[in-house]
């Protein structure tokens, strides 16, 4: 746990075991989200990657101009094709006219997805298993890759869960503040004089601050 003055301490999760007896089993901490270091590692590993989104946007622009439809409509057709959805009417006609280019884009999307999976799994192993220089070896078990990738997706989904938002009851359970602050009584301290000056509000800083 980070050394921070939490109002509510981070929730603790049981670790997850991934893999099989044939692949070997790893026990990986579950945090309820990716850390900054993990996200940074993923970004660095994909820094030189060709953006599938950019290529998709370029094809959408070409389709929009040729078919006289909006760019969002063209991009929606591309996304549906990439997702393997069944198209009808004008969308299906466009898919057939641009079948070769869409097939090429599908290859780009698939490659980008695989590289994202490998980068994410590498980040998890490096940071959660304390292996900072780890590089995925050739022949890495597919079942381990899939299981750790599922963990990544679950962590990303957990970040968006409403249950992660603290309730009023959670905030009331904050730990006591360390140290005691002397309360003003209106009585003079040794060598001082009592005053009738009221306690300053939170919006007005006192002379002691």
15: Cα within 13 Å, side-chain hemisphere? 10
The rounded distance, in Å, linking the Cα atoms of 117 and 114 is 5
Q: Which pLDDT band holds residue 127 (cuts at 50, 70, 90)?
A: very high
In angstroms, the CA 101 to CA 66 distance is 14
Residue 30's SS3 state is coil
Query: Is residue 187 scored above 50 in pLDDT?
Result: no
Q: How far apart are CA 105 and CA 83, in angstroms?
A: 12
Mean pLDDT is lowest, of 21-25, 129-133, 158-162, for 158-162
Q: How far apart, in whole angstroms, are the C-alpha atoms of residue 154 and residue 166?
A: 20
Least confidently predicted of 90-94, 96-100, 124-128, 205-209: 205-209
In angstroms, rounded to a whole number, what is the distance separating the alpha carbons of residues 152 and 35? Answer: 11
CA gap 95, 102 in Å, rounded: 7
Long-range contacts (CB closer than 8 Å, 24 or more residues apart) made by 47-52: 49/112, 49/115, 50/108, 50/112, 51/112, 52/105, 52/108, 52/109, 52/111, 52/112, 52/113
Give pLDDT, residue 196: 45
Residue 36 has pLDDT above 80, yes or no: yes
Instruction: Give the pLDDT score at 203.
Output: 43
For residue 11, the tally of other CB atoms under 10 A from its CB is 11
Give the H/E segment covering residue 76.
helix 71-82
Residue that is written with structure tokens 């990986």 in the block: 28
pLDDT of amino acid 174? 56
Distance (Å, whole) CA 145 – CA 17? 13
Span 93-105, mean pLDDT?
96
> pLDDT, tens digit, for every residue of 140-184?
999 999 999 999 999 999 988 776 666 666 566 655 544 444 444
How big is the chain by its Cα radius of gyration, in Å?
28
103 or 180: which leads in pLDDT: 103
* Token reading at 36: 């900054």
Measured torsion, CA atoms of residues 129, 31, 26, 147, in degrees rounded to the nearest 10: -120
């Amino acid at each position: 746990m980070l050394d921070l003055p939490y109002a509510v301490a981070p929730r603790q999760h049981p670790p997850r075991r991934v893999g099989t007896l044939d692949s070997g089993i790893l026990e990986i901490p579950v945090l309820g989200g990716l850390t900054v270091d993990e996200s940074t590692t993923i970004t660095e590993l994909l820094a030189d990657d060709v953006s599938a989104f950019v290529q998709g946007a370029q094809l959408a622009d070409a389709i929009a101009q040729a078919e006289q439809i909006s760019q969002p409509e063209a991009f929606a057709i591309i996304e549906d094709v990439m997702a393997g959805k069944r198209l009808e009417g004008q969308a299906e006609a466009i898919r057939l006219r641009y079948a070769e280019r869409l097939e090429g884009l599908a290859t780009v999307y698939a490659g980008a997805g695989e590289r994202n999976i490998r980068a994410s799994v590498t980040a998890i192993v490096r940071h959660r298993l304390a292996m900072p220089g780890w590089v995925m070896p050739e022949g890495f078990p597919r079942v381990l890759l899939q299981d750790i990738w599922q963990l990544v997706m679950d962590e990303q989904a957990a970040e968006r869960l409403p249950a992660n938002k603290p309730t009023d009851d959670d905030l009331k359970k904050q730990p006591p503040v360390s140290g005691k602050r002397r309360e003003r009584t209106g009585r003079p301290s040794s060598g001082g004089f009592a005053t009738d000056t009221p306690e300053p509000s939170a919006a007005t800083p006192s002379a002691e601050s």
